[in-house]
Amino acid sequence: MELLADVGNTTTIFGLHNSKSVICVWRLPSSRLETEDEIFAILDGLFRSKGFSFSSLDGFCVASVVPRLNRSLQYFAARYLPFSAVFLKPDRFVSVGLKTDNPAEIGADRLANVIGAARHYGPNAIVIDVGTAITIDVLKDNVFVGGSILPGPATAMSALFSKTAKLPEVELFFEDHYLGTNTEDNIRIGIVNGTYFALQGIVKNLQKNFSERTQVIGTGGNVELFMIEDGFIDTNDQDLTLKGIRAYYDRVKASEKSITG
């Protein structure tokens, strides 16, 4: 069983993966992972609550977009686990091609998403990950060819609230109308509905790169905001990033095994 970590700017997702699938998922504020001992204390309690222990682990793989936390995760593995942490990066273990101007700058979460999409959905896919930022990643013929980045809905809400004197923070959800008659409706229509149609327009144009319609996979903590009936997102796969991390780790371990015999 492997421990997988998707370390984001706001939230870190830990998951346990057995030989078949993700069996446990925990979402934690990334701000709580500042030291190796904090990571141990938190995970030890979570493991115990599900009847697991660190002794049942065979490996630990991380996709991180927060460099300052990487050392804490490395120290955690060194101190509390019998193996080192493996960090996902754009190297030979990535199972898809990388056709971008600078593959080294691709976020580990985006790499994990396209790796997971390739393994579970095929060589052509569009992945939309809705978190602090919204990333759109395009997989064509098993090659990551690029995408786009937008502010996430919570980020947009926070920016609007912090930069204006009278606009309130509101609960975000998709409105079924487009003429707001009060401030809260106006904000929701602008942020949620507006972002939805921005995404829809981008995806519509991306589909022109394929000979037939390509599946659109949604993931991330806020993707539910855009899972509209008859919408453009076909599948909500909340474990996609973790699945991609596991697929990367499998290739690392297979390489190590072939070297050691």
Type of residue found at 202:
I
Q: Compute CA distances 184 → 166, 173, 174, 196, whole Å.
A: 12, 11, 12, 17
Instruction: State the amino acid at position 93 in one-letter form.
Output: F
Which residues are CB-neighbours of 45 under 8 A, at least 6 positions away? none
- DSSP secondary structure string for all residues of 93-127: T-SSEE-SS-GGGS-HHHHHHHHHHHHHH-S-EEE
Q: Find the catalytic residue in 6, 44, 101, 109.
A: 109
The answer to whether residue 109 is catalytic is yes
Q: Over the range 100-119, which residues count as b (16 or more CB within 10 Å of their CB) and which as e?
A: beeeeebbbbbbbbbbbbbb
How many Cβ atoms from other residues are within 10 Å of residue 162's Cβ?
Answer: 9
The DSSP code sequence of 201-212 is HHHHHHGGGSSS
The residues, any chain, with a CB within 8 Å of residue 95's CB and separated by 6 or more, are 115, 118, 119, 247, 248, 251
Residues 6+ apart with CB under 8 A from 52: 1, 16, 24
- Active-site annotation, residues: 109
